[in-house]
Amino acid sequence: MVAALAVAPVVFLLLFYVWPVATLLSRGLAAPPSGTGEIAWFTLWQAAVSTVLTIAAGLVPAYVMARYRFPGRRLLFGLLTAVFVLPTVVMGAAILALFPASIERSIWAILAAHVAFNLAVVVRTVGGVWEHLPADLEAAAATLGATPPQVAREITLPLLRPAILAAASIVFVFTFTSFGVIRIVGDAGTSTLEVEIWRRATQLGDVDAAATLALAQLVIIAVFVGWSAWQQRRHSRALALRPLARRRPPRPGAERRFVAVTATLTTVVVAAPLVALVARSLRTPSGYSLAAWRHLGRAEVRPGISVGVDPLEALLISLRTAAVATFVAVVIGGVAALAIAAWRRGGRVLDTGLMLPIATSAVTIGFGILITFDQEPFDWRGSWWIVPVGQALVAVPFVVRATLPVLRGIDPRLHEAAATLGASPERAWREITVPHLRRPLVVAAGLAAAISLGEFGATSFLSRSGSETMPIAIERLLGRTGSALQAQGYVLATILAVATVAVVVALDVGGEVRRTPRSS
């Protein structure tokens, strides 16, 4: 029974991940193309600077939200999370809309996009540990005469160091493999390893050079992740974390002003780009109007100016693709979680294997699929289903992570009691396990749908002319000259932002309605 459950996830992983990555590696063992060192250096230093800026910007909000109770706290936390789940092309378009023309396609815009996009990682990761730290250590140090900077340097930061390193490693990987932000915000000469892989494979036709760059990127990420894990183990220490203490309101005076200023600035950092995005969709050379919204779907925004893509068709294609990708991800991920929970040793291997796509950039996955399934009898590049399958591959790990803890939390004595009362294993599974799966599977479906709607890296390789998804259409429209065409891009980005958040919220709320298990 367990082996049968594992068949579909194993075949899916081998066919659409292991085989394409192996093909990519076999074609990447060549001399690096010229200019690789310069591109790799830019990719590395912009990711490092983005990570440092994000950690610096996120520590104070993490502290405030972990220790204080204030009006709007939950709203701010939800806003941070909403921005984090937005597609990268939406955040890129929002930053492009916010900044003036003099810096809108510069390294400063790229860094700003990375900070705003990843701020939630620091607040959630570091703040989650901060709120459990024993405050009496800091109070004791202050009683002994330590100044606040000394307390922070000698007590708080060492205790938070593993969490800070974990957040920094996540942000670094996200920014090192940044693709959508660079394509939208960067100018024509800005190229990271991700962008150069795409450019050489799709525009220059130099597949071997692109494969070499993809291999170099995989090696760099693997080395960094290994070093980061070693650093976290090195700095971890045994600490009796306290249960979550009751957050207190800030005291009147300086403390209240500090909390208010921090909350306000954090809100501005994450909300201002979204407000600017909506405003740019309404802005025309003659003032603000709904012209771009009214012309959505028309072949021409004005006589002689062709849109080049059909925004409404892109929206419908994205919704259809997301529906298929979500179905595939939930089925494969749900079955895999069942197999992992029931299959001890083999389950650990399967769990590790299904997590590999998270550690691999979507660009690498899309590129691998492109060069693997390009000849008979597996010439699937033009198939309608290859795009949702590529997106589902990225989403399956999130389905497993959302489902597995619930399965492992089910008391095995419930199944034993059902067997004692004469229930067959199938009925016990149907009556006990399935009701517990409804909530995590609905949440997982929301995550998979959001990932599919905004997926840009793999889709850039796998989509075909006439079947562009919304992220592809947004990138093309924003890259055109003329305010009318760019306004259409901002309209699509606004719609995609609303659709992404709406899908996550609707499915999450729907999952709250739990079915009461029937008695045996």
- 76-127 pLDDT, tens digit per residue, is 888 888 888 888 999 999 999 998 877 878 899 999 999 999 998 999 888 8
Q: Report how far apart the first and last C-alpha atoms of the chain are (Å, whole number).
A: 22
Both 246 and 328 in a single domain? no
User: Are 254 and 391 within one domain?
Assistant: no
C-alpha–C-alpha distance, residues 508 and 328, integer Å: 19
Residues 150 and 274 in one domain: yes
Of 223, 257, 289, at which residue does a domain stop? 289
Are 285 and 310 part of one and the same domain? no
Identify whether 77 is part of a domain: yes
For position 306, what pLDDT does the model report? 56
Query: Torsion angle, CA of 506/511/512/516, rounded to 10 degrees?
Result: 150
In the prediction, which pLDDT does 516 show? 34
> Domain range holding 117?
31-289
- Buried/exposed code over 132-147 (b: 16+ C-beta within 10 A; e: otherwise): ebeeeebeebeeeebe
Asked if residue 295 is part of any domain, the answer here is no
40 in the same domain as 9: no
Tokens of 316: 């419908």
Total count of domains within the chain: 2
Whether residue 210 lies inside any domain: the answer is yes
d(CA 71, CA 77): 12
Residue 453: its H or E element = helix 434-454
Both 284 and 347 in one domain: the answer is no
Question: What is the structure's pLDDT at 182?
Answer: 92
Q: Is the dihedral of CA 138, 142, 148, 150 positive or negative?
A: negative
* Residue 92 belongs to a domain: yes
Q: Are 354 and 396 in the same domain?
A: yes
Q: Is 321 domain-assigned? A: yes
The answer to whether the beta carbons of residues 284 and 486 sit under 8 Å apart is: no
Query: What's the pLDDT score for residue 268?
Result: 92
Same domain, 520 and 460: yes
3-state helix, strand, coil in the chain (%, to 5): 75, 0, 25
- Residue 508 confidence (pLDDT): 52
| Integer angstrom CA distances of residue 489 from 226, 280, 465, 472, 493 | 40, 10, 18, 10, 6
* CATH number of residue 495's parent domain: 1.10.3720.10
* Domain finish residue from 239, 254, 289: 289
Distance CA 174, CA 191 (A): 16
Q: Identify the pLDDT of residue 517.
A: 36
What's the token pair of residue 271? 């909300």
Check whether residue 245 and residue 347 sit in a common domain. no
In a domain, 312, yes or no: yes
Residue 181 counted as domain residue: yes
Residues 210 and 234 grouped into a single domain:
yes
Q: How far is CA 172 from the centre of its chain?
A: 13
Among 231, 262, 289, the domain boundary falls at: 289
Coil, helix or strand for 244?
Answer: coil
- Distance, CA of 388 to CA of 392 (rounded, Å): 6
pLDDT digits 0-9 by tens, 167-190: 898 899 899 998 989 989 988 778
Pairing of strands 305-306, 300-302: antiparallel
Residue 299 counted as domain residue: no
Q: What is the pLDDT of residue 62?
A: 92
Q: Could you give the CA distance from residue 457 to residue 420 in angstroms, rounded to a whole number?
A: 52
- Could you give the C-alpha distances from 2 to 10, 337, 346, 408, 413, in angstroms and in order? 12, 11, 10, 15, 19
Cα–Cα distances in angstroms (integers) from residue 299 to residues 189, 323, 495, in the given order: 30, 27, 19
Q: Is the dihedral of CA 17, 11, 382, 185 positive or negative?
A: negative
335, 238: one domain: no
Same domain (yes/no): 149, 69:
yes
**Cα Rg, the chain, nearest whole Å:** 24
| Low-confidence residues in the chain, pLDDT < 50 | 511-520
Could you tell me if 300 and 482 are in contact, meaning their C-beta atoms sit under 8 angstroms apart? Answer: no
Q: So what's the pLDDT on residue 15?
A: 93
